[in-house]
Amino acid sequence: MAARDREFSLGASIALTFGSALLWGVAHLATGRRRTGLALMAVYALLLASVLTVVTVLGSHLLSLAVQPSWLTTLTVTLIAIAVAWSTVIIWSYALVRPAASDTAARKATTILAVVLCVLVVAPTAYAARLAYVSRDVVTTLFNNTNTAPVVAADPWSGADRVNILLVGADAAANRPGVRTDSMTVASVDVATGATTLLGLPRNLENVPLPAGPARQRFPYGFTGEPPYTPGLLNEVFQYAEDYPEMTPGVHKGQRGPALLKQTISGILGIPVTYYAMVDMYGFAQIVDAMGGVKVTIKEPIVYGKYREGLLPAGTRKLSGEEALWYGRSRTDSDDYVRMGRQKCLLNAVAKQADPMTVLNSFESLATATKRAISTDIPQSLLPALVDLAQKVKDTRIRSLSFVPPLISTAYPDWQLIRRKVEQALAERPANKTATAPGERPTPTPTLAPSADRPIALDETCG
């Protein structure tokens, strides 16, 4: 009897079906289909070699590829194709080696095995394809693709030593129109080392100088808002630009506020602010929940809630989204400047705790929250370089410098002093993280006191 015409026992059928799932072509060889079996083995070996090559050669760049829509589309299609091909081989192999039709129990057992093997192949590849699809959706939704200037891989930063990104926390309320940018921080990142300094500006800076052009012509002596309806603070500039298109001629609605705020803060700090990322405060709470919470050290109990209905006790604890929101927003029994310090700690904690496993475990909910909460003008073409830079940032100590009293008077700011302090802070070269030996006490560092006039390391200060 020829091998291809043999009737296989239950044990042989199970072994060959399972073996074919692990190495394509085993069942075909067992049934005398030598040419087909060897061809399937060759395809399988080529596929495995390709995967290993990609992981080995592109391992350090996989995160960069994960933010490129074209790669994500290719990955989605490839994963679906692999799942279909693999399942086809399993079913084909089962059909060749299944027990005789007369042995109902044995055939049912091998059928169940074939179905289970197909599920084990399809489920993870389908999940990976889904993640790739969701990633592509997030990238194309959040990041624009209208930047026509090509990004040179050798130097995506166009010769700049640092990239400066404005991080904005926006707060909208039902009892007032528009958006107030109550949290404004410029993250200045050294593109070579990832060394990052957060430059914080209080929301209540007065008479801020506006950039040359229509904005300065309207407010030649500094921004004063619309008295007596508004006090004319820095946190009003964003919405004012949106309400008065002539302040930023040629800029589309929705981008007027970011454009004027970036130019204004660039002038205040004396450094070019190229991009912005704005987070809605309530959307931020959803992001924290999607991460599974964020762990922070609370120095003093924090009362929160409109009617003082909540309390965050002192100590190191994991905060929910709502608690994290109040940790960063509450001014009860404190002030704007203490709140700014907590906001920097919160940013630092989220940056450090958003590791790949945390992101992967809650990917879809995190992606949904991110699309709702964040807006930015960072172009898609810059994302691979930005991802690589983010990995460098994780290996350095993030420092913070806030321009608050008594260093800076918010009513009568010394703009020259601010620019001088920024220049000094960015000229310093902070050391990379160093491990602390067991039993060794870390070197004491300054606290988040408003009087700090030089950058402080957030890892040690925030606990």
pLDDT at 260: 97
Contacts of 102 (CB under 8 A, 6+ apart): none
Chain position carrying tokens 């990917």: 363
pLDDT at 360: 65
DSSP state of 144: -
Q: DSSP 3-state assignment of 155?
A: coil
**Is residue 413 domain-resident?**
yes
Chain position carrying tokens 């109040």: 326
Q: How confident is the model at residue 439 (pLDDT cuts 50, 70, 90)?
A: very low
DSSP state of 16: H
Q: For residues 185-203, give the mean pLDDT.
A: 93
Instruction: Write out the DSSP string of 307-354.
Output: TS-EEE-SEEEEE-HHHHHHHHH--TTS-HHHHHHHHHHHHHHHHHH-
Six token digits for residue 318: 């994991």
For the entire predicted model, the pTM comes to 0.78
How many degrees, rounded to 5, is the angle at CA 317 between CA 314 and CA 318? 140
pLDDT at 175: 52
Percent of the chain with pLDDT over 70: 86
pLDDT tens, residue by residue, 234-281: 999 999 999 999 999 999 998 999 999 999 999 999 999 999 999 887
pLDDT greater than 60 at residue 354: yes
Which CATH number is 231's domain given? 3.40.630.190
Residue/partner pairs of 5-12 with CB below 8 Å, 24 or more apart:
6/31, 7/99, 7/100, 8/97, 8/98, 8/99, 9/99, 9/106, 10/99, 10/103, 10/105, 10/106, 10/109, 10/110, 12/97
Same domain as 266, residue 182 = yes
Q: How confident is the model at residue 444 (pLDDT cuts 50, 70, 90)?
A: very low
**Is residue 175 domain-resident?**
yes
Same domain as 174, residue 94 = no
Six token digits for residue 99: 């027990």
pLDDT tens, residue by residue, 196-215: 999 999 999 999 999 999 99
Same domain as 82, residue 183 = no
458 phi/psi in degrees, rounded to 5 = -75, -30
Answer whether the bond into residue 406 is a cis peptide, omega within 30°: yes
Same domain as 394, residue 307 = yes
Same domain as 168, residue 136 = no
Same domain as 354, residue 321 = yes
Distances (CA, A) of 443 to 196, 401, 425, 452: 20, 19, 20, 17
**Is residue 156 domain-resident?**
no
pLDDT tens, residue by residue, 131-165: 888 888 888 888 887 654 555 556 788 889 999 99
Same domain as 125, residue 175 = no
Q: DSSP 3-state assignment of 295?
A: strand
Answer whether the bond into residue 450 is a cis peptide, omega within 30°: no
- Looking at 56-70, 198-212, 395-409, which range is the least confident one? 56-70
**Is residue 153 domain-resident?**
no
- Structurally, the chain folds into a number of domains equal to 2
| Structural domain span for residue 114 | 3-142
Same domain as 131, residue 197 = no
Distances (CA, A) of 310 to 97, 285, 299, 319, 432: 67, 16, 16, 13, 38
Same domain as 127, residue 174 = no
Domain boundary among 114, 142, 170: 142
222 phi-psi bin (left φ>0, alpha ψ -120 to 50, beta other): left
pLDDT at 205: 95
Q: How confident is the model at residue 345 (pLDDT cuts 50, 70, 90)?
A: confident
**Is residue 395 domain-resident?**
yes
Contact 417, 97 (CB under 8 A): no
**Is residue 178 domain-resident?**
yes
**Is residue 231 domain-resident?**
yes
Candidates 462, 401, 444; CA nearest to 185 is 401
Chain position carrying tokens 């089962």: 94
> What is the rounded radius of gyration, in angstroms, for the C-alpha atoms of the chain?
29
Same domain as 138, residue 219 = no
pLDDT tens, residue by residue, 37-56: 999 999 999 999 988 887 77
Same domain as 178, residue 126 = no
pLDDT greater than 50 at residue 6: yes
Same domain as 406, residue 257 = yes
**Is residue 30 domain-resident?**
yes
Q: For residues 91-112, give the mean pLDDT.
A: 91
